[in-house]
Amino acid sequence: MERISPTTDLAFKKVLGSEENKDILAGFIEDFFGVRPEGIVIEKPYSIAVCREYMENDEVSKLRETLKDVAASFATADFVVELQVKKTSYYEERSLYYPFSRFVQGYSRPEAMKTEPSGRPMRYSSLRPVYSMNILGYDLFEEDGDALRIFELYDPKRGKEFARRLLRIGYFELAKGNVETANQKHWQNYFTTGEAGPCAPGYIKKASRIIEYVNLTEEERNMISMTERLAANDEAERHYHYMQGISEGRVEGRVEGRVEGIAEGTKRGKEESEIKAREEKIGSVKSLIEMGLSDSQISKAMKIPEKEVEDLRT
């Protein structure tokens, strides 16, 4: 059965961030944090109509941002899950920023605050525990083969945890083999292959069915193609600028007799990178054309002249 990759932005959001798939999200939270979430409320749930609106309003960056993670709340805590397939700089800092930001956002919420007998509001009482999970397609912690780590507030000198489990920040490295439970192994298999084995729980089997190609609408297929092309285009441009910087740095540091050879190599590498970036951009434009966007909308989204869009239509 042909499936889209479960690590594409749209598949990730649809599976874990849809109103009709709260059972999948509940199973995920329980399998990694050991709590059964009741009364789940998903923030900015998946909607192809919202994705379409972002595209029609030339807000491609917002479209891609809204698909990157899933945020929810339930009776006893808030929850955030993010997928990061490729290694990126300062991810440790980024992985802390979002759960800490969510924690402080709970300060002084009127609907959640308790009051003193005098009626004075207890503003810190509205702060809620936050559970966060980062699903990683690369090894962040290289010292062992353990796939799952969950960090909490802890006093190492006294070997004592914080009185309340206010922050629990997890990392699930898909390439590592040591998992703690059978269900975590099923999740690992799902995220790496898209498949669910015969012994997998029903909610993981449901996730696997959702990403079957035949179960996606044509609009969703086009949206996936477009977002993947945009991501590839950005990656090509970043790689080009990175390699250009390295080449220029090497030129400055070489002896005069090698300058010409390095400059020639830099020129050739630049040309190849530009060709690749151009091909990726053309593919993205064609995907947007297939989705029915106007020349003006595509021009703004892709930052190219309308004439080039018109030429690609013909």
**pLDDT tens digits for range 187-237:** 999 999 999 999 999 999 999 999 999 999 999 998 888 777 766 666 556
Question: Which tops the pLDDT comparison, 49 or 67?
Answer: 49
Annotated domain spans of the chain: 9-215, 218-313
pLDDT at site 22? 98
**pLDDT tens digits for range 99-127:** 999 999 999 999 899 999 999 999 999 99
Mutual angle of helices 202-210 and 22-33, in 10-degree steps: 130
pLDDT at site 285? 79
User: Could you tell me which of 44, 40, 113, 29 has the C-alpha nearest to residue 73?
Assistant: 40
Question: Which tops the pLDDT comparison, 230 or 256?
Answer: 230
Question: Which tops the pLDDT comparison, 305 or 263?
Answer: 305
Tokens 């390295």 identify what position? 246
Residues 173-181 have a mean pLDDT of 96
Q: Which long-range contacts (CB under 8 A, 24 or more apart) does 90-98 make?
A: 91/134, 91/140, 92/140, 95/132, 95/134, 95/169, 95/171, 96/169, 98/69, 98/132
**Inter-residue contact 30 to 36 (CB < 8 Å):** yes
Residues 240-257 have a mean pLDDT of 56
pLDDT at site 265? 57
Residue 255 scores a pLDDT above 50: no
- The neighbour count for residue 309, using CB atoms within 10 Å, is 22
Residue 139 scores a pLDDT above 50: yes
pLDDT band, residue 152 (cuts 50/70/90): very high
**pLDDT tens digits for range 56-105:** 887 877 787 778 789 999 999 999 999 999 999 999 999 999 999 999 99
Question: Which tops the pLDDT comparison, 33 or 243?
Answer: 33
Dihedral pair phi/psi, residue 256, rounded to 5°: -60, -35
pLDDT at site 200? 98
